[in-house]
């Protein structure tokens, strides 16, 4: 379990802006950003930030 005051670190890139032939990569990076934002909203009460 994640401890109180922990941080979540996710690695991404700028490719989610769209590059021809890289749609799957861009989609997964955009999903990673959405996941980080969702976790931030869900875990803020426990002092866990992104």
Considering just the CA atoms, what is the radius of gyration of the chain in Å?
Answer: 13
pLDDT at 17: 65
Please count the structural domains in the chain.
1
Q: What is the pTM of this model?
A: 0.63
* pLDDT on residue 15: 59
**5, 30, 37, 50 from 15: Cα distances, Å:** 30, 9, 18, 20
Cβ(50)–Cβ(41) under 8 Å? no
pLDDT of residue 50: 60
Q: What is the DSSP string of the chain?
A: -PPTT-B------GGGG--TT-HHHHHHHHHHHHHHHHHHHHHGGGT-B-
Q: Which pLDDT tens digit goes with each residue over 3-37? A: 777 877 877 766 556 678 888 888 888 888 898 88
The residue range of the domain holding 27 is 1-50
């Amino acid at each position: 379990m994640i401890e109180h005051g922990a941080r979540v670190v996710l690695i991404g890139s700028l490719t989610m802006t769209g590059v021809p032939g890289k749609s799957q990569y861009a989609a997964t990076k955009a999903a990673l950003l959405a996941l980080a934002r969702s976790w931030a909203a869900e875990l803020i009460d426990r002092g866990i930030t992104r």
